Amino acid sequence: SGETHAPMYGDFEAQRHWMEITTGLPVLEWYEQGPQNDLQYWGLDYPPLTAFHSWLLGKLGHLAVPDCFALVKSHGYESQACRAFMRSSVILSDLFVYFPGCLLAVWGFSQEAEKLPHRALAVVILWLLPPLLVIDHGHFQFNGVCFGLCLGAAGLVARGRRLSASVLFTAGLLFKQIA
C-alpha cells in the first residue's frame, strides 16, 4: 500500500495525514489548498463526518503520540507507537460503530422465535468478516464505521423505524460515499 515509499507512503499516511490536517487547521481550511494543506498530498476528499471522525481521533492521537500528528512536519512519520495508535483507532471505531450496527441488523432481521445462540452467531459472523479484519484493520481503513451505520439503518428499517434508519443511513453517506 505504499508503506515507506515516499512521497505518498500509502493508506496509513492518508489516514494519519487527515488527522494531522483536521487537528492542525481551522475547519474551513480542511478542504482548501493552502500553505499547510497541499491537496495533492492526501487532500481530505471524504465527506464531513469522516473529517470530524479524523479530528476526534487526531485529538486522541495528539495525547498519545504528538509527533505523529505535527502539522506538516509529520509527513511520512511511521513510528511503531504511531502505527499502534492508528491500528487501535480502527479497531475502536469498529467496536463503537460497526459492532452496534451488527447488533441492530441482527435484531432487526431476526424473528422472535430465533434462539439467542443463532442471533449471537450471526453477530459473530458479521464481526469476523475477512474484508474488515484483513483489509481495513491491516490498511488503516475505517469502512466499518460506514458499514456499521448502514447495517444499523437496515435493521431499523426491518423493524419499521424509518426515521431512525434514515438518520443512520444519512450518517453513513456523510461518512463515506460507499454507503
Q: What is the pLDDT of residues 124-136, one digit of tens each?
A: 999 998 888 888 7
The mean pLDDT of 52-77, rounded to a whole number, is 96
In this prediction, residue 133 carries a pLDDT of: 82
- Quote the percentage of the chain above a pLDDT of 90: 78
Name residues whose C-beta falls within 8 Å of residue 81's C-beta, 6 or more positions apart in sequence. 64, 65, 68
pTM above 0.85, yes or no: yes
Cis peptide bond N-terminal to 7, omega within 30: yes
Rg (CA), the chain: 18
For the beta carbon of residue 46, count every other beta carbon within 10 angstroms.
18
On whether the CB atoms of residues 50 and 19 are closer than 8 A, the answer is no
Give Cα 94 to chain centroid, integer Å: 8
CA-to-CA distance for 118 and 115, rounded, in angstroms?
Answer: 6
In this prediction, residue 3 carries a pLDDT of: 60
